[in-house]
């Protein structure tokens, strides 16, 4: 089992990703072998938020030049995590037909993400 700190490496802070935070979408650089369910669990445990959806994509390494020398940047995996902006209590049915609710409170934003929010 991977540690949650091994799954999420760092936030991706760009102009586009900062505008998407208003819609509850946060962009992270994640481990290349991390699955969507591992990313979901890591975000929920690290930031105490309710994750609705996880989209992942591989970002190909760009070719860069420095003078006559040419090299390639590494390939990395990006995850866009959509959180629930209006989390409600989870309802479930117990034995005997009673309806129970969870007492867990979720945050509506990730304060640790980026600057200037």
Q: What is the pLDDT of residue 117?
A: 45
- Per-residue pLDDT at 111 exceeds 70: yes
Domain-located, residue 111: no
Of 72, 45, 41, which Cα lies nearest the Cα of 54? 41
Domain that holds residue 70: 4-101
Strands 69-72 and 76-83, by their bridges, are unpaired
pTM of the predicted model as reported, rounded to 2 decimal places: 0.79
CATH number at residue 30: 3.30.70.330
Domain tally, the chain: 1
Q: What is the pLDDT of residues 47-106, one digit of tens each?
A: 988 999 999 999 998 999 999 999 999 999 999 999 988 777 777 788 888 887 776 777
Q: What is the pLDDT of residue 33?
A: 95
Take residue 95 and report the two structure tokens written for it. Answer: 């034995």
């Amino acid at each position: 089992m991977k540690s949650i700190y091994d799954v999420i490496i760092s936030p991706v802070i760009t102009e586009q990703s900062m505008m998407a935070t208003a819609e509850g979408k946060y962009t992270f650089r994640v481990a290349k072998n991390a699955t969507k369910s591992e990313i979901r669990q890591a975000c929920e445990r690290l930031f105490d938020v309710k994750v609705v959806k996880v989209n992942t994509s591989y970002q190909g390494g760009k070719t860069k030049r420095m003078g006559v020398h040419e090299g390639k940047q590494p390939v990395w995996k990006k995850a866009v995590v959509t959180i629930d902006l209006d989390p409600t209590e989870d309802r479930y049915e117990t034995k005997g037909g009673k309806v129970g609710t969870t007492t867990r409170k979720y945050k509506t934003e990730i304060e640790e993400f980026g600057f200037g929010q």
